[in-house]
């Protein structure tokens, strides 16, 4: 078995635990693929090195991502496009999408006994049309449209399957997957959705109207968000907490269910609600 090992290079603990993962998996005769940028940090003699994380995952059977939610999400999106499963090892503060805590690395042997499950999670496919050009990206958690650093409300128009359905005057709006319902959307007052469900969650951020609430759309829906004509400030779009860019008049953000899905390996028997309670208690502690 060939395993891509992708730790967050900027965190010493993540690199340390990645070395532990390699040492444990080497006992089972595994080979490894690792990004060249991590060669000096991991120093693995039984690894093949590749120019990018994407290429390292492409040339492996599965990926082990070591870090916080941001690191694991980034690896999971690469793996989803390539049809590969990913195991997340949490080295962050929360770790909602992680399959293991560092204290549970002894469970890695289950990868070879078959004693594990694979959770499939829906992704969002996002087309951003800006200045007449269109580029596509994917989100495991959410895409947010906000007022950026400007402390004023923005006006946003929302369309469903090409038809106008509502307008928001708010600090922004979040389009989230069920996995992302426990991220920014939850902080904005949105509901918790079981991650195996298939739907698109739309949550306004600090809306001017007291009657604006989260809305759920079926997974075959296409939601388009654009700047309202009354908005004086250009909103900013951010995908999974990264890649922020401004959106002007005439630009559009189209959100739909992606044709691929993220596949997370689970080596323990914890269910979603047990994990949710543990992580939320840790966050409040």
Q: What is the mean pLDDT of the chain?
A: 90
Q: Residue 74's pLDDT is what?
A: 94
2-116+267-284 with 123-259: one CATH topology? Answer: no
**Choice between 148 and 59, residue whose per-residue pLDDT is larger:** 59
Domain spans, the chain: 2-116+267-284, 123-259
Closest C-alpha to 63, from 96, 36, 103, 99: 99
Q: What is the mean pLDDT of residues 272-281?
A: 68
Q: How far apart are CA 105 and CA 179, in angstroms?
A: 24
Q: For the segment 210-226, what is each residue's pLDDT rounded down to a tens digit? A: 678 999 999 999 999 99
Q: Per residue in 18-28, pLDDT tens?
A: 999 999 999 99
Cβ-contact 104, 111 below 8 angstroms: no
Architecture of domain 123-259: Sandwich (2.60)
- Domain at 2-116+267-284: CATH architecture: 3-Layer(aba) Sandwich (3.40)
Task: Report whether pLDDT(94) > 70.
Answer: no
SS (H, E, C) the chain: CEEEEEECCCCHHHHHHHHHHHHHHHCCCCEEEEEHHHHHHHCCCCEEEECCHHHHHHCCCEEEEEECHHHHHHHHHHHHHHCCCEEEEECCCCCCCCCECHHHHHHHHHHHHCCCEEEEEEEEEEEEEECCEEEEEEECCEEEEECCCCCCCEEEEEEECCEEEEEEEECEEEEECCHHHHCHHHHCCCCCCCCCCCEEEEEEECCCCCCCCCEEEECCCEEEEEECCCCCCCCEEEECCEEEEECCCCCEEEEEEEEEEEEEEECCCCCHHHHHHHHHHHHHC
- Say how many Å lie between the first and final Cα of the chain, rounded: 40
Q: Model confidence over 152-163: pLDDT tens digits? A: 788 999 999 999
pLDDT tens, residue by residue, 55-66: 999 999 999 999
SS3 138: strand
For the annotated catalytic residues, the residue numbers are 69
């Amino acid at each position: 078995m060939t395993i891509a090992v992708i730790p967050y290079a900027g965190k010493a603990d993540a690199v340390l635990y990645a070395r532990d993962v390699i040492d444990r998996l080497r006992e089972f005769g595994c080979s490894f693929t690792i990004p060249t940028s991590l060669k000096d940090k991991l120093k693995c003699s039984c690894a093949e090195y590749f120019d990018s994380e994407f290429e390292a995952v492409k040339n492996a059977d599965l990926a082990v991502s070591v870090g916080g939610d941001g690191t694991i999400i980034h690896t999971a999106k690469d793996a989803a496009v390539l049809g590969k499963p990913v195991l997340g090892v949490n080295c962050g503060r929360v770790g909602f999408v992680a399959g293991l805590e560092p204290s549970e690395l002894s469970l890695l042997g289950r990868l070879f006994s078959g004693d594990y499950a694979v959770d499939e999670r829906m992704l969002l496919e996002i087309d951003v049309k800006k200045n007449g050009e269109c580029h596509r990206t994917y989100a495991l958690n959410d895409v947010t449209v906000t007022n950026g650093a400007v402390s004023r409300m923005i006006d946003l128009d929302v369309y469903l399957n090409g038809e106008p359905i509502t307008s928001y005057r708010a600090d922004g709006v979040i389009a989230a997957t069920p996995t992302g319902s426990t991220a920014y959307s939850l902080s904005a007052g949105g509901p918790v959705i079981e991650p195996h469900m298939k739907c698109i969650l739309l949550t306004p951020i600090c809306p001017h109207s007291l009657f604006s609430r989260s809305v759920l759309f079926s997974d075959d829906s296409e939601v388009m968000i654009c700047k309202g004509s009354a908005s004086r400030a250009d909103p900013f779009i951010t995908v999974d907490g990264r890649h922020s860019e401004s959106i002007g008049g005439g630009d559009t953000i189209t959100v739909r269910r992606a044709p691929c899905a993220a596949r997370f390996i689970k080596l323990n028997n914890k269910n979603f609600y047990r994990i949710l309670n543990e992580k939320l208690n840790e966050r409040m502690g």
